[in-house]
Structures are given as structure tokens and as C-alpha cells.
Amino acid sequence: MTSHFNDARIAKTHDVARGIRLFDIAPADGVRAHAPGSHIDVEVMVDGRPQHRSFSLVGDAAESGVYRVAVKDRPGGHGGSRYLWSLAADDRLRVSDPKDRFSLSYRAPEVAMVAGGIGITPLYGMVMALARAGQRVHLFYTARTRDEMAFVDDLSAALGDRLHLIATSAGQRLAPAAVIDTLDPEAELYICGPQSLREAFLTHWLGANRPVERFRFETFASSGRLPATAFDVRVANRDLDFTVGRDESLLEALRSHGVHDVLYDCEHGECGLCTIDVVEHSGELDHRDVFYSPRQQAAGNRICACVSRVHEGHLVIDTSRHAVDTGHAD
């Protein structure tokens, strides 16, 4: 599935925390209403080639008249974040309409939100919406330092003592038990942050016999166990060889080399449409999806092309056997 992109311009930029910049994006044909937690796809230039990156929307576009995205600087990087940081007011770009894959429920008697670093971006609008609705909501926001936390004044005004700031550089740690064990039995938890944070909270959530359907998460497509490195790929059924750069996905590289028979949709490792067969590999497979179970990932015979990759090695794949998988079948 591909997005329809609209012409837009940067209306304004300003820094909202150390290393985090807020971009007001004004589409030429106006904004579309969206739910809290939605995102837009942005066409960015990476190594001179157009690629698509997803950014969570901050706040309500219907109120502000612009799409607002908060982007963390990646010094030394060449990806979508660095491209946006290179833009200034009145620069042009192309964006999609909002998409909602991280839906907010208003039914739970209590809600805990957990944000790791730039993971605050989808949760900010959710927290504010729940607070306006009079819902019982807590936010646990962790980052390396206090000055790397965005929107704290707004969040503090909305939540008061239900806002918990955890600065890891000061020796503070966010313990899953401290968040989960005191929640109402019917509570829901929403989390956005690094893979390690999500896995720690999910493990404790399930260990406490809480329903998995009340654990909601947004993923970072760039969040893996290992740092991203370039790797070589051979498409066995096409006699095609190429290299995937450290700032592009396997799916993007396949498309740029004329391989268009791999279905895709979310590009976040969630839907499973882009799974393909792994024939062989060297180096370690870094499964960055949330579609497959840990046991399925350990088998190493299929990979989600939109997010997963190989660390310091090569990969041989066969796209002719690409088919929609079911995931978590074990």
C-alpha cells in the first residue's frame, strides 16, 4: 500500500527541548482531522533518494491549522530526522494525510502512559485528550536528562502530580513494577519508546496476569537490539545483488532496485504484509518487528522487510515465496 502525498511547506520551527525540534507543517490543501496518536508519512531525501518516514502528530491539527511533528536530532546521521532538521520556514516538502494505528480508548477506569525519550510524541496528544475528558491518567516520562524532555510545562499543567519525570543521568530508573502493580485491574497501559523499554514492561504486564489486549504500544522503526549497519543482500529468485545502507530499510532498498512484488502497509513492523523468506545469512538477524513472536524470530527463516535487518553480515532472500503471514501462531 502506498500513501498519497500532498504538497506542503514548513510554516515554523522551534526547539522544544535539547535536541528536539517542533515543525509546523502546512499542507497546501489544508489539514485533515485526526485522532490522538495519529501520524503522517513525510517524503524525505536520504542519500539523494526520496524515501518515506513516519512522524507522530503532536496535538490537534484541527485546532492549530498545521500538522505538528517533534523530531529528535541525530548528529552524524543521514536519515529522515537529519533531513527534516535541515529544513527551515517556507521550505517545501510532501506529506500524507494522517493515519491512525495507535488508537486511544476512553473506556478504561485508569490509564498509564509510558514515554521513552522521543516516544512522548504520540502520547502527548493522548494524555491531553484523556485529561480534558476527566479520565484518570498517569504519565511516566523517562529520558537521559530533564532538559531533553519536551512539553513538560503543558503536561504538568494537565496532570499535576500524575506526571512522573525520570532522568536516567541522575541515577533514576523507571521500574515496570512501580508502574503496573498499583494500577486498577481494568487499567490500560500505552507505551512508546525503545524496544528494550517496551519488552521490559510487556514482560512484567504478562507476568502480572494482565490481559495483553490492554497493553498498547507504538513502535520505533529504528529501534533494534543492535546498531544499524550496512549489509549486502542477494535476491536469489532474481539474481540481484545490492547493499542496504544503514539509513534505509530492506524494503526501501528492494523498491529502489525494482523489486515491487513485496506487499507492505504499516512500515513499522506491525502488520506482517512485507514478510519474506530468508534463504541464508551471515551476521546476526536483528528482528525489529512486533509481528512475530520471539520463538518465530529465533527460527530466522522469515523477516519483516520494512524494519528488520542483518548486523554486519549478508542476507540471501527469496521474494517469490512472499505471502501474507499470520505471526504469533505459536
Residue 265: per-residue pLDDT: 80
Please state the domain extents for the chain.
5-96, 111-218, 231-321
- DSSP E strand stretches across 236-325: 240-244, 275-281, 284-286, 302-304, 309-311, 314-318
As a whole number of angstroms, the distance between CA 119 and CA 142 comes to 9
Residue 300: per-residue pLDDT: 92
Architecture of the 231-321 domain = Roll (3.10)
The residues that bridge with 119 in the sheet, in sequence order, are none
Q: Any residues with CB less than 8 A from the CB of 206 and at least 6 apart, and which?
A: 212, 215
Beta carbons of 319 and 237 less than 8 angstroms apart:
yes
Q: What is the pLDDT along the chain (330 residues), one digit of tens a residue?
A: 456 899 999 999 999 999 999 999 999 999 999 999 999 999 998 777 788 888 999 988 888 999 999 999 987 665 788 899 999 999 999 999 998 878 898 999 999 999 999 999 999 999 999 999 999 999 999 999 999 999 999 999 999 999 999 999 999 999 999 999 999 999 999 999 988 898 899 999 999 999 988 999 876 655 677 888 899 999 999 999 999 988 788 998 999 899 988 988 877 787 889 999 999 999 999 998 878 888 888 999 999 998 899 998 999 999 986 555 655 545
Amino acid at 271: C
Grid cell of 140 as nine digits: 511516566
- Distances 11 to 25, 84, 88, 93, 322 between C-alpha atoms, Å: 6, 13, 8, 11, 42
Whole-prediction pTM: 0.78
Amino acid at 266: C
Residue 329: per-residue pLDDT: 46
Architecture of the 111-218 domain = 3-Layer(aba) Sandwich (3.40)
Q: Any residues with CB less than 8 A from the CB of 317 and at least 6 apart, and which?
A: 233, 234, 235, 236, 276, 277, 278, 279, 303
Q: Does domain 5-96 have CATH number 2.40.50.140?
A: no
Q: Are strands 20-27 and 5-17 parallel, antiparallel or unpaired?
A: antiparallel
